[in-house]
Amino acid sequence: MLKQTIQRWERCISASRRRGDGHTKRKKHLFGKWVRSMSSSTIQSNDNRTTWDSVPKERVECVVIGAGVVGIAVARALALKGREVLVVESAPTFGTGTSSRNSEVIHAGIYYPLNSFKAIFCVRGREMLYEYCSKHDIPHKQIGKLIVATRSSEIPKLNDILNCGIQNGVDGLKIVDGVEAMKMEPELQCVKAILSPLTGIVDSHSLMLSLVGEAENQGTTFTYNSTVIGGHLEGSEICLHVTETDRLTEWKGTSILQPELLLIPKLVVNSTGLSSPVLAKRFNGPKNV
């Protein structure tokens, strides 16, 4: 049933493209415009139960919103556990947001505050990422990193960074003197440096491609050009409001944007990156939920 709805949904999207509604140029800015409008006070509540009765509904076990590196990895992990997964992505393909516009560094986990999730997950995630990349032939290299003090007044700060990294459980960190650092990197001018041997680089597109492939092999469905615009509770169930992304071009931001499909999942993962808090605010429910 889910597959049929998704196929219908995808047919509807390709039909709108054939009609010439492909706003390729405008699409780039579309999502930003929508996010800005969503957070403005001109937007009315989407708590409009009667009009939703006519909207097609579909049940699915897990919905992952957003196909950046986080959403894709979550979808893969759920699918490997045997869960039915649908990924809803507003862009025409996966990983077009921050996940394809970053420095592709595999961070060691040095800077984060002690015992923070970031510190814990960065150290554990780095180990898992190297293991995954080796196992799946993802181009990557553990090239190491130098954090430098360019003058002696910066050395106390360098020591603080070193201590933070050690407390976070980053192995192999050591202070090297300027001469040694400059031997490694002749272009460098520094008086001291921290050598972080566990830092590396990764081809993030190959990584995402591999994760998508695994998720799809486990039965995950990716639906693109589809945006989650909000959600509401019906009893104990959450209903996600989905619309074709192109429809957002015509939307002036002054009227209620009606969904074209309601998804009713048992589990929702909001992995829409920087849009996550804005989208979360569009989920209507009792005040204490």
Ligand X SMILES: Cc1cc2nc3c(=O)[nH]c(=O)nc-3n(C[C@H](O)[C@H](O)[C@H](O)COP(=O)(O)OP(=O)(O)OC[C@H]3O[C@@H](n4cnc5c(N)ncnc54)[C@H](O)[C@@H]3O)c2cc1C
Interface residues toward ligand X, by CB under 6 A = 65-71, 88-91, 96-99, 102-105, 107, 227-228, 271-275, 279
Q: Is 97 exposed, middle or buried (0-12, 13-18, 19+ CB in 10 A)?
A: buried
SS3 content of the chain, % helix, strand, coil (to 5): 40, 25, 35
> Where do the DSSP E strands lie in 22-100?
57-65, 85-88
Q: Cβ of residue 183: shortest distance to ligand X, in angstroms?
A: 26
Smaller CB distance to ligand X: residue 140 or 192? 140
DSSP run (H or E) holding 175 = strand 174-177
C-alpha to C-alpha distance for 226 and 215, rounded to whole angstroms? 19
Smaller CB distance to ligand X: residue 143 or 155? 143
Q: Cβ of residue 283: shortest distance to ligand X, in angstroms?
A: 11
Smaller CB distance to ligand X: residue 67 or 148? 67
Angle at 228 between CA 222 and CA 231, to 5 degrees: 130
Residue nearest to ligand X (CB): 68
Among 3, 1, 66, 13, CA closest to 221: 3
Looking at residue 129, what DSSP letter applies? H
Smaller CB distance to ligand X: residue 218 or 227? 227
Q: Cβ of residue 51: shortest distance to ligand X, in angstroms?
A: 20
Q: Cβ of residue 32: shortest distance to ligand X, in angstroms?
A: 10
Smaller CB distance to ligand X: residue 98 or 189? 98
Smaller CB distance to ligand X: residue 15 or 274? 274
Among 63, 104, 113, 14, CA closest to 222: 63
C-alpha to C-alpha distance for 45 and 272, rounded to whole angstroms? 21
Q: Cβ of residue 180: shortest distance to ligand X, in angstroms?
A: 25
Q: Cβ of residue 280: shortest distance to ligand X, in angstroms?
A: 10
